[in-house]
Amino acid sequence: MNFRLIATLAVAGTTCSLASASVNSNVNPKIAQHTYTNSQSSASALQSLPEKSEAAIAARKFAASGGVLSPLLQIGGQRRSNPTGTGGSLPIIGGDDCSAAVVVSGLGSFPYDTTGATSGVPALTCGLGGSDVWFSWVAPSSGNCTFSLCAGTSADSVIAAWAGSGCPGGVPLACNDDFCAGFGPSQVTFAVTAGSNYMLQIGGYNGGVIGAGTFSLNVTPSATNDDCSAAVAVVGVGTFPFDTTGATTGLPALPCGLGGSDVWFSWVAPSTGTALFTLCNGTTADSVIAAWAGSGCPGGTALACNDDTCNFQSQVTFQVTSGSSYMLQIGGFAGGVIGTGTFDLSVIQPPAPCTPWDDGSTENLLGWTAGGDMVWLNRFGAPGQQNTVGSVDVAWGSVMFPGYSTGNGTPTDVFIYQDGVSQDGDPTDATLLVSIPTTVSAVDTDTYVNYPIAPLSITGVFFVGSHLTHTAGQFVAPMDQTTHVFADTSYFFGDNTPGASANYANPGANIQPPFSFDSIGFPAQVLARVNCITGPATYLCDPGTGGVLACPCSNPATGSGRGCDNSSATGGASISGTGSNALATPTLSFTTAGEKPTATTILLQGTAVLSSGVAFGQGVRCTGGVLKRLYVKTAVGGSVTAPDFGAGDANIPARSATLGDVISAGQSRWYMAYYRDPSVLGGCSALSTFNSTTTAEVQWQ
């Protein structure tokens, strides 16, 4: 499956071969993500890259992690020559052959000269290195040795360090192409033992003769948690420091992204749910992270591993059980030492069954390379759970990439599918329940268009989405990549034959059956939402409709069931309730979506409803009467759940009674969430630093 994304290799229109057919995806140069993993692919064709541009390095990362590069791939610039040394009488400092390595002693700076050097055996194992010279060195102390050309040349070098004396075999301890100054000098760090011998190899990229320069050797103590057996314990959730300075590449190795120079932490999950382990807020370095089950040095397969999620920083999610132990591993891409930083740990609950996955904005588009018909879907619901769908919201195109999708008026359909008996969240065996013929509108605005339907009861997992028939060079599936936390929530399928139509009734029978966006290495959710009538609550207070006050800052919601839009342009925040409203077994909780990403949020309870609403910061409040602030939470990805029973919160009736409002059977209460939004939109006063969801009414039994 060949596809292009507007940001795949930071070059619009780059094609990556993932299977036997063609998918076209356009990747966002602003994001410039480089997560190139695909279990259906095999590595090949690194040598076909003509340049060491950023795009080529990204492509190299892709192929090294399992991707396939088209042999016809061209990424700008001129093809480099492949010079080799002339040998013979030209000066060489360092042995041209490993059997004639020059001995260096101690630490400090040492000269080399590759003029006249040839490419020996063993070859430099990374970066297409050649025209190399050799040195032999005995470590004067134990620790981590940094072998660097960064201060001694500006040439495009490749270096490696090997264990032992004489001509080495096996694999090097470390190998590096580019480390400092762009595509120039190299540097590696590897563990050494006092009195042990090591072989050092210096060459030029693509066999280039880098000439004379100096290299340095320095030994520093190892990081305290350099090995999994010495992992540092972290407790609870929050932000924690790390430092990979002096770290070496240990075992087990980071299983994705060519990670190395890693450190280890141990952690006991404080609650059951989905753990979010992220470096996105704590470093700007190119990182690689992994999570493993159990305590001590792990074996087997990692629970999760990631190279790039937020630009070149890493993030993973994995399922955890309260009281169970996990090992967390942090390293740098290609063994780079990322130094100091922080990582965040949290345990989050999945959103309610009908809560939007996306934040209402696109960072990418996907389409078939040769054109065809592509269907894209978001997953909703849960096995065994009944939901009633009242409407579907869809959006087409991308405000970030106008003109790449098909235009307004293009025929399309809006779909609702029910998952098959597997209830596995994969639409391969899904059944088409609803197909609404329509045409594209509001294209390239990231604006949702609402499609009401007669109330439809669905039990279990279901999917909603749309499709477009398009030509080569067009990109149609709208992708949100900035709020992706839960894996395999979004899928695409169809027919990548120009002019063909997909088999909508049987997703698994298509030339391209369903693939999740995570499985192709581009974690994302598409812009498709569902509006449900679900649980013990009924919902009201849609701003600007049904006699309710319009949003006060000219910031209308982008769909039903959503509060006024906020400064993050999520389209407004929603609230949904699930659980029991029986006073004897009160498990009711509320989940929000579409807030500011990390907003402080309060769940508010009232004893009356304000049917017309009142202006409330940048939102509209319909919850009135005696007001009680039940719970204060901090949003993760624009969402909170309250009460959070996993965190020990009291149930709603108990919390209400504590605050002086005792709820009796048959009484109703009205609920909404309001949240901080310090960026005030035009038209509101400077004091309007908050916004709100719509309102949910619950009659307690």
CATH code, domain with 343: 2.60.120.380
Asked if the model's pLDDT at residue 107 lies above 90, the reply is yes
* Boundary (domain end) residue, out of 532, 558, 591: 532
187 and 115, same structural domain? yes
Mean pLDDT (whole number) for 246-265: 87
Q: What is the pLDDT of residue 65?
A: 36
Buried b (16+ CB within 10 A) or exposed e, 453-489: eeebebebbbbbbbbbbbeeebbbbbbbbbbbbbbeb
d(CA 100, CA 169): 16
Residue 359 included in any domain: no
Residue 384 included in any domain: yes
Q: What is the dihedral of CA 213, 218, 224, 225, to 10 degrees?
A: 30
**Which phi and psi angles does 438 have, rounded to 5°?**
-160, -170
596, 677 contact by CB (below 8 A): yes
d(CA 485, CA 316): 8
523 and 374, same structural domain? yes
Residue 286 included in any domain: yes
| CA nearest neighbour of 45 among 72, 24, 83 | 72
Mean pLDDT (whole number) for 299-309: 87
* Boundary (domain end) residue, out of 532, 557, 575: 532
Residue 408 included in any domain: yes
Q: Where residue 3 falls among pLDDT bands split at 50, 70, 90?
A: low
* Boundary (domain end) residue, out of 200, 220, 240: 220
Mean pLDDT (whole number) for 317-332: 93
Q: What is the pLDDT of residue 544?
A: 92
**Highest-scoring range by mean pLDDT, 210-224, 240-254, 491-505:** 491-505
Mean pLDDT (whole number) for 74-94: 34
Residue 75 included in any domain: no
Distances in Å between the alpha carbon of 621 and those of 543, 604, 618, 686?
9, 10, 10, 18
476: amino acid identity, one letter = V
Q: What is the pLDDT of residue 86?
A: 29
Mean pLDDT (whole number) for 492-518: 95
Token pair in block for residue 88: 């013979």
17 or 361: which carries more pLDDT confidence? Answer: 361
Mean pLDDT (whole number) for 455-483: 91
Residue 479 included in any domain: yes
139, 104 contact by CB (below 8 A): no
Q: What is the pLDDT of residue 353?
A: 84
Mean pLDDT (whole number) for 86-94: 48
Residue 144's DSSP bridge partners are 191, 220
541 and 623, same structural domain? yes
Residue 354 included in any domain: no
Mean pLDDT (whole number) for 147-167: 92
144 and 51, same structural domain? no
401 and 299, same structural domain? no
Mean pLDDT (whole number) for 534-555: 88
pLDDT tens-digit map of 621-666: 999 999 999 999 999 989 999 999 999 999 999 999 999 999 999 9
d(CA 254, CA 306): 9
Q: Which 3 state secondary structure label does DSSP give 429?
A: helix
Tally Cβ neighbours within 10 Å of residue 242: 27
556 and 636, same structural domain? yes
521 and 401, same structural domain? yes
Q: What is the pLDDT of residue 535?
A: 66
| CA nearest neighbour of 267 among 244, 242, 301 | 242
518, 315 contact by CB (below 8 A): no
Cis peptide before 455 (omega within 30 of 0): no
Residue 210 included in any domain: yes
178 and 117, same structural domain? yes
**Alpha helices (H) along 590-681:** 652-658
Summary mean pLDDT of the chain = 83
Asked if the model's pLDDT at residue 102 lies above 50, the reply is yes
661: amino acid identity, one letter = D
Count of domains for the chain: 5
- Find the domain containing 405 and state its range: 364-532
415 and 437, same structural domain? yes
Cis peptide before 122 (omega within 30 of 0): yes
Distant-in-sequence, close-in-space partners of 685: CB < 8 Å, separation ≥ 6:
none
**Alpha helices (H) along 240-390:** none
Terminal alpha carbon distance of the chain: 54
d(CA 36, CA 411): 33
568 and 673, same structural domain? yes
526 and 541, same structural domain? no
111, 104 contact by CB (below 8 A): no
Q: Where residue 159 falls among pLDDT bands split at 50, 70, 90?
A: very high
569 and 441, same structural domain? no
| CA nearest neighbour of 481 among 569, 359, 367, 593 | 359
Asked if the model's pLDDT at residue 497 lies above 50, the reply is yes
Distant-in-sequence, close-in-space partners of 525: CB < 8 Å, separation ≥ 6:
357, 358, 378, 479, 480, 483, 484, 489, 490, 517
